[in-house]
């Protein structure tokens, strides 16, 4: 029922925490203010081996486990959600399908440099009318001789403007709903693929989100990632990892919010004493710490089970649901402790408050996750 962090995993956490404290935290406010992709820190993360932590050494990775990946995500998110999301998405969704289903030539040409931080890979699933309901996807992939022709419009595609290659979800069997979805490798510069408008956002400002447009985009049949008709099943195979990743990112933001609240409560003096000595404030901080620790136990138990070969979709969904809601509650709680200064851009809590909303979206909304959990429990069919 429980787990312990190994010495190797703890060494990784300490190394990432040192990088975050020395290089990420001092840059986080400027990344947000300038709404820029943190390219220098992204490259440094690649040099430290973070982009390949999930992949074997033969491709330049380190062969780390799921707990290690969660530790990486948590610590990076403690410093900057923009950097953490970029690193984690590149290390998982942006490259996973090429690793699992791509040809060796594609792995060498795209995955290896992606692990080195020389190429950017992103996943393109969401559409204007197909977010939670991927069965409503309108992007199609029509077989044409030795090629596929892709047509459709994607939306909310993270870092699309910087991408060198896309893993695109498209229907090979439009009448089959979600079961008709397959995944395709589309490289930047392929005729028919273009990046559309960037979507203005309220948070995670160093992470862009754009439309991707496919118009008679011709790709070789070898760019189908997996056998035709298996895309939905293959996507389901990585959903638990995505939800654990989002849960771990939530832990990092929650920890940053709690740390900020504690520091300010000790420093801020009202009525002749630090506000931390007032029961209303100290009890709020105690509740925040308790919620954070409960979420941490759920996330790392789910990751540990994956490392032992058990893919528990119910627990992964619970972990993401609880942790993302927790992060929003802690960001709000820290903001209340700061009072008026929680509304001031000179303090980071306003960034935590805005960035926390991002965590409610990726990997399934809270409403969708509750439905999945209920289904897994056998009480909703």
Catalogue the E-assigned strands of the chain: 121-124, 140-144, 147-158, 165-171, 181-187, 193-198, 209-220, 269-270, 273-274
pLDDT score, position 131: 87
Of all residues in the chain, the percent with pLDDT exceeding 70 is: 99
pLDDT for the residue 25:
98
> What are 109-166's pLDDT values in tens digits?
999 999 999 999 999 999 999 888 889 999 999 999 999 999 999 999 999 999 999 9
The alpha carbon of 107 is separated from its chain's Cα centroid by a whole number of angstroms, namely 22
Query: What is the location of CATH 1.10.540.10 in the chain?
Result: 7-115
228 contacts 172 by C-beta, under 8 angstroms: yes
Mean pLDDT value of segment 369-380: 91
The tens digit of pLDDT for each residue in 256-295 reads 999 999 999 999 999 999 999 999 999 999 999 999 999 9
Across all residues in the chain, what is the average pLDDT?
A: 96
Q: CA 27, CA 342: separation in Å to the nearest integer? A: 20
Specify whether the CB–CB gap between 257 and 352 falls below 8 A: yes
What pLDDT sits at residue 330? 98
pLDDT in tens, 152-184: 999 999 999 999 999 999 999 999 999 999 999
As a whole number, mean pLDDT of residues 221-250 equals: 95
Q: How many CB atoms lie within 10 A of CB 124?
A: 29
Q: What is the pLDDT of residue 87?
A: 98
Is the pTM for the entire model greater than 0.85?
yes
Range(s) within the chain of domains with CATH label 2.40.110.10: 121-227
Domain with CATH 1.20.140.10 in the chain: 232-377
| Structural domain 7-115, CATH architecture | Orthogonal Bundle (1.10)
Please, which pLDDT band fits residue 107 given cuts at 50, 70 and 90?
A: very high
Rounded to 5°, angle at Cα 66 from 65 and 72: 95
Asked if the model's pLDDT at residue 3 lies above 80, the reply is no
Q: How far apart are CA 85 and CA 78, in angstroms?
A: 11
Task: Return the pLDDT at 2.
Answer: 58
At the topology level, CATH places domain 121-227 in Butyryl-CoA Dehydrogenase, subunit A; domain 2 (2.40.110)
pLDDT of residue 191: 97
* pLDDT tens per residue across span 54-102: 999 999 999 999 999 999 999 999 999 999 999 999 999 999 999 999 9
CATH class of this structure's domain 232-377? mainly alpha
Supply the pLDDT for residue 381.
65
Tell me the mean pLDDT in the region 319-334. 98
What is the C-alpha radius of gyration for the chain, rounded to an integer number of angstroms?
21
The answer on pLDDT for 197 being more than 70 is yes
* Residue with tokens 């999930």, as numbered in its chain: 54
b/e for 191-207, b at 16 or more Cβ within 10 A?
A: eebebeeeeebebbbbb
């Amino acid at each position: 029922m429980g787990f312990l962090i190994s010495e190797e995993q703890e060494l990784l956490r300490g190394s990432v925490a040192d990088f975050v404290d020395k290089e990420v935290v001092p840059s986080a406010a400027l990344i947000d203010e300038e709404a820029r992709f943190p390219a220098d820190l992204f490259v440094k993360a690649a040099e430290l081996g973070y982009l390949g932590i999930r992949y074997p050494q033969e491709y330049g990775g380190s062969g780390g486990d799921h707990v290690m990946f969660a530790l990486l995500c948590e610590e990076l998110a403690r410093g900057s959600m923009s950097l953490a999301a970029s690193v984690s998405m590149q290390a998982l969704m942006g490259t996973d399908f090429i690793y699992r289903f791509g040809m060796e030539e594609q792995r060498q040409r795209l995955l290896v440099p992606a692990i080195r931080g020389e190429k950017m890979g992103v996943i393109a699933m969401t559409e204007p009318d197909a977010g939670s309901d991927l069965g409503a996807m309108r992007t199609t992939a029509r077989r044409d001789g030795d090629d596929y022709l892709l047509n459709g419009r994607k939306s909310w595609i993270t870092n699309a403007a910087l991408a060198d290659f896309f893993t695109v979800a498209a229907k090979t069997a439009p009448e089959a709903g979600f079961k008709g979805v397959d995944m395709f490798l589309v490289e930047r510069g392929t005729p028919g693929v273009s990046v559309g408008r960037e979507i203005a956002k309220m948070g995670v400002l160093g992470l862009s989100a754009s439309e991707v447009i496919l118009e008679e985009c011709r790709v070789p049949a070898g760019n189908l990632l997996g056998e035709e008709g298996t895309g939905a099943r293959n996507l389901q195979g990585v959903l638990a990892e995505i939800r654990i990743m989002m849960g771990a990112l939530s832990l990092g933001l929650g920890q940053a919010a709690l740390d900020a609240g504690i520091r300010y409560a000790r420093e801020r003096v009202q009525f002749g004493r630090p506000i931390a000595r007032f029961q209303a404030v100290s009890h709020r901080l105690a509740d925040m710490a308790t919620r954070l620790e409960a979420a941490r136990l759920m996330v790392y138990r789910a990751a540990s089970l994956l490392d032992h070969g058990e893919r528990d979709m119910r627990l992964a969904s619970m972990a993401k649901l609880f942790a993302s809601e927790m992060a929003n509650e802690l960001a709000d709680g820290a903001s209340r402790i700061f009072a008026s200064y929680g509304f001031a851009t000179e303090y980071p809590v306003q960034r935590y408050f805005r960035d926390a909303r991002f965590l409610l979206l990726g990997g399934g909304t809270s409403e969708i996750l509750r439905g999945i959990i209920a289904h897994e429990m056998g009480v909703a069919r």
